[in-house]
Each structure stands twice: as C-alpha cells, then as structure tokens.
C-alpha cells in the first residue's frame, strides 16, 4: 500500500479544476477585507473551510454551487484574481501536478467593472508568475486556462468569442457549467458553433447531476471534445448475472470514440453523483477501457487535491500505481494543448516519473 507522501510525488495531470473552487481559506479571509466583501459566514479561515465543506457535502449539486458566491465575491479586482491564479499554480505544483487546465467563468468577476479581457489577463498573468516561480523551485508546471460560460445565463457566445480571442495566450478551450436540470447544453449551440468554426476545443459539464440525456446532447448535438464529469454514463452500462457488462449505444459511442471523462471522485460523492469512492463508477469505467481521467473539481469546496483523489482511489477503490499512471496518461492525452506538447510531457515527465516511483516503491 502506498503512503500519501509517496502518491504526492507522482506526476499528475489535472484537466478539470475550477479556479474559484480552489482558493486557500486564508486567502478568502484576507481578500474579503481588501475587497470589502462582507457576506462571509465567518472570517475565521479554519471555520470557513469547515463551513464550506459541510455545505458542499450535501448530496446536492445545487447546494454545492451556492457556496461559490463567497469565493467569486472576493475575486472582483485584477489584483485578487491574479493572486488566486498564482496560488493555484503554486498549490498544484507543490502537489506534484505537472500539467493543469484551470477553468473559470469571466462573467462572474465583473461586479466592480473589470472588462472580460482584463479578467482573463489577470488569470493568465497569475499562472505565468506561478509557472516561473515553481520552475525556479524545481517543480515545473504547465498552467493553461479554459473559459467557462454559465449555462443559466445568455452570454455563452460572448465567452466563446473571448476564448478564441485569447487562444495561444494561455487559453486552450471553452466550457459551459452550472445547473444541468432545465438548462440543456443545446441552449448554447451558437457558442459551440463559434468554437467549431475556429477549430478550437471545448468541454461541456454533462452527466454530473442530470444523466444520459445531458451526455447525449453534449456529445451528439453540441460536439463536445470532452465531458465535464460524465459520471452518469454508468447508467447506460448493465452488469449481467455472470459478472460481465453490457454497454448501451451511448456508452459504446463514448468509449469507442475515446471521449474523455473528466471524473472528480470526491466531488461526485459530495454532489450525490456517486455513493462513495469505493463504489464510484471510475472503477468500472477504467475496467471497461473508457478514457477515464481523475480530477479535483473544487479543491476548497471538497477539501481535496490531486494527491488526495489518487490516494483515496488507491486505498478505497484498490487502484494500483500502474492504474494511477494510466489515469494520468489519459489526462495528458486528453489535454487541449498541441499533440507534440502533450507527447513531450508524457514521455519526458510522466512516464519517467512513474517508472522511477514503481522501482522505488516496490
């Protein structure tokens, strides 16, 4: 059995992580003062971390999402957004992450008059500063950004155009997020058309709380490159009496087309998308050869990290170091950076890192 410290040094790829879901509790408290945000349930960082974790561990996606009002509330200036982005890069690098795609919704950070471009610039600037400092510390990390539009709003085309405008300057794709029930991804076809016409990348939050219809629309109607969560694809897989599995047509399509699933085990348990880590569909999906990846979703809300996600999969779901390696390579294969860059990280960083660890830990 691997220890947490051993898992922490393994190379990791995080492709589903929300910037406003990963703030340090101390940073929230300090920014609340500098930003003049007065709605925190408590100004004590320790108590705030517990409050937000308790609120998120409710089994409800809607309740989970309500907690973001506080983190978004303290991210309304260029300086605060840049700081959060910088700390995100540092925290991931210190956790063994070598590549990360961090998503955020620019439209949520305009309460004090920042333009959309200023908001993206703040994030990209913070990530670049974090990359530089962590490279100097001997913990290199590549940080990239996904711009998210809220599926409950009507600004998705504007955000898609923003993402395209910032491509090759740190932004590598587009996403939609928010409440699934009642807000199907097909409401945002104009935005997806913008992305397709620009030969750009996109992922869609689907199959987290709603199920197969959301996944079907995301893949077949909207043309998503990846599925944000996609955990409910398990509903299209039947376990037969002899212990084998029978895939439905949608599950077959998702697996056979190698559509990446951005699975977030701890978050999925908190939102009720999975019963427990031990029973999380990632075990079956891995066994059946889906393009499964492991991610954090929201590190503050779920009190998690990439190391924690992997440690729980190892200790509670029986994942071996070889399977953790497979999940990491899947994450890199699914990244939105150019193929040669993905390949370089896989061959020069991930594979050697795991090969060394396997020898040392055996």
Rounded (10°) angle between helices 116-136 and 156-165 = 50
Rounded (10°) angle between helices 321-333 and 306-316 = 140
Ordered DSSP codes for 79-93: HHHHHHHHHHHHHHH
Reduced to 3 states, what is the DSSP secondary structure of residue 258?
A: coil
87 is catalytic: no
- Tokens found for residue 57: 């561990």
Reduced to 3 states, what is the DSSP secondary structure of residue 206?
A: strand
Q: Which of 247, 246, 257 is nearest to 218 (CA)?
A: 257
Rg (CA), the chain: 19
What span, in angstroms and rounded, lies between the C-alpha atoms of 40 and 25? 11
Query: Is residue 86 within 8 Å of 124, Cβ to Cβ?
Result: no
- Tokens found for residue 105: 């919704």
Query: Could you give the strand order of the β-sheet that contains 261-263, starting from the edge strand earlier in sequence?
Result: 12-18, 97-104, 142-150, 171-177, 202-206, 226-229, 261-263, 292-294
Is the Cα dihedral 129, 130, 132, 137 positive or negative? positive
- Which member of 107, 194, 208, 217 is catalytic? 208
DSSP 20: G
Bridging pattern class, strands 245-247 and 261-263: unpaired
Count other Cβ atoms within 10 Å, centred on residue 200.
Answer: 18
Is the Cα dihedral 253, 254, 255, 256 positive or negative? positive
What span, in angstroms and rounded, lies between the C-alpha atoms of 233 and 248? 9
Number of H helices and number of E strands within the chain? 17, 10
What span, in angstroms and rounded, lies between the C-alpha atoms of 22 and 31? 14
* Active-site amino acid positions: 208
């Amino acid at each position: 059995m691997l220890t947490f410290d051993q898992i922490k040094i393994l190379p990791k790829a995080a492709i589903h992580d929300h910037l406003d879901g990963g703030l340090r509790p101390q940073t929230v408290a300090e920014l609340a003062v500098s930003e003049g945000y007065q709605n925190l349930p408590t100004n004590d960082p320790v108590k705030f971390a517990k409050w937000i974790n308790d609120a998120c561990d409710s089994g409800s996606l809607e309740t989970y999402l309500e907690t973001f009002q506080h983190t978004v509330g303290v991210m309304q200036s260029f300086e605060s957004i840049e700081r959060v982005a910088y700390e995100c890069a540092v925290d991931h690098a210190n956790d063994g992450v070598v590549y990360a795609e961090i998503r955020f919704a620019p439209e949520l950070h305009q309460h004090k008059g920042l333009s959309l471009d200023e908001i993206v610039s703040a994030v990209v600037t913070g990530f670049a500063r974090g990359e530089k400092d962590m490279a100097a510390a001997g913990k290199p990390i590549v940080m990239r950004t996904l711009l998210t539009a809220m599926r409950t709003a009507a600004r998705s085309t504007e955000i898609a155009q923003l993402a395209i405008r910032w491509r090759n300057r740190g932004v590598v794709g587009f996403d939609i997020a928010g409440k699934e029930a009642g807000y199907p991804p097909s409401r945002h076809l104009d935005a997806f058309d913008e992305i397709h016409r620009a030969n750009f990348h996109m992922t869609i939050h689907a199959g987290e709380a709603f199920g197969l219809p959301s996944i079907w629309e995301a893949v077949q109607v909207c043309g998503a490159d990846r599925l944000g969560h996609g955990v409910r694809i398990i509903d299209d897989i039947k376990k037969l009496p002899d212990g084998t599995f029978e895939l439905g047509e949608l599950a077959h399509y998702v697996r056979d087309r190698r559509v990446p699933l951005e699975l977030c085990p701890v978050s999925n348990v908190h939102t009720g998308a999975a019963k427990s880590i031990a029973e999380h569909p990632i075990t079956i999906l891995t066994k059946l050869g889906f393009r499964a990846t492991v991610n954090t979703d929201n590190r503050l809300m779920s009190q998690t990290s990439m190391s924690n996600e992997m440690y729980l999969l190892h200790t509670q779901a029986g994942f071996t170091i070889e399977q953790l390696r497979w999940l990491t390579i899947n994450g890199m294969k699914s990244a939105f950076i150019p193929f040669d860059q993905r390949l370089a990280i896989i061959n020069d960083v991930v594979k050697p890192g795991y090969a060394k660890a396997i020898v040392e830990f055996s």
